[in-house]
């Protein structure tokens, strides 16, 4: 059985698209089944692998989830990290985890996207001519075919 239904995947992609309409920032979702290491360290590795560190304003945000191991992280690039409150990523994780503990993975990711999008819009508002620098679809890093 896939991790997310087609409807859930569409909802997540729409949440990213909606958030990015108000900002020049970029949000991505990376999924693994397992994470043997620290989720934050894995997120940093994937951040670079997915070229999130190459956005023009260094304002990319990555939500990483290793669903079978119940691990996740949310990280931002240097541009966004300079302007958000020090505890922003931790409070965002708490909001996401409230959904995760109830088994609502898609809703948790959407909550994280919405919170990140609000901060990105505040500090990096949409500029005329802004282009979507990175895809909005979920990236399954371990090639588990969405399972």
Mean pLDDT, the chain, rounded, equals 91
Show the tokens assigned to 9.
Answer: 């995947």
Check whether 145 has a pLDDT greater than 50: no
Domain boundaries, the chain: 6-140
**What's the whole-model pTM score?**
0.92
Mean pLDDT of 5-14: 94
Burial class (CB in 10 A: 0-12, 13-18, 19+), 112: buried
Q: State how far the Cα of 139 lies from the Cα of 136, in Å rounded to an integer.
A: 9
Residue 144's pLDDT band (boundaries 50, 70, 90)? low
The class level of CATH for 6-140 reads: alpha beta
Check whether 30 has a pLDDT greater than 90: yes
């Amino acid at each position: 059985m896939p991790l997310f239904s087609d409807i859930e995947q569409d909802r997540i992609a729409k949440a990213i698209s909606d958030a990015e309409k108000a900002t020049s920032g970029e949000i991505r979702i990376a999924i693994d089944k397992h994470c043997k290491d620290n989720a934050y360290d894995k997120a940093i590795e994937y951040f670079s692998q997915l070229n999130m560190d190459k956005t023009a304003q260094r304002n990319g945000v990555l939500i990483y989830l290793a669903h079978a191991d119940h691990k996740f992280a949310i990280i931002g690039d240097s541009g966004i990290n300079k302007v958000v409150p020090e505890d922003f990523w931790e409070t965002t994780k708490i909001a996401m985890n409230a959904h995760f503990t109830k088994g609502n993975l898609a809703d948790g990711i959407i909550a994280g996207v919405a919170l990140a999008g609000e901060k990105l819009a505040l500090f990096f508002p949409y500029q005329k001519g802004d282009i979507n620098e990175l895809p909005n679809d979920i990236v399954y890093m371990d090639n588990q075919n969405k399972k």
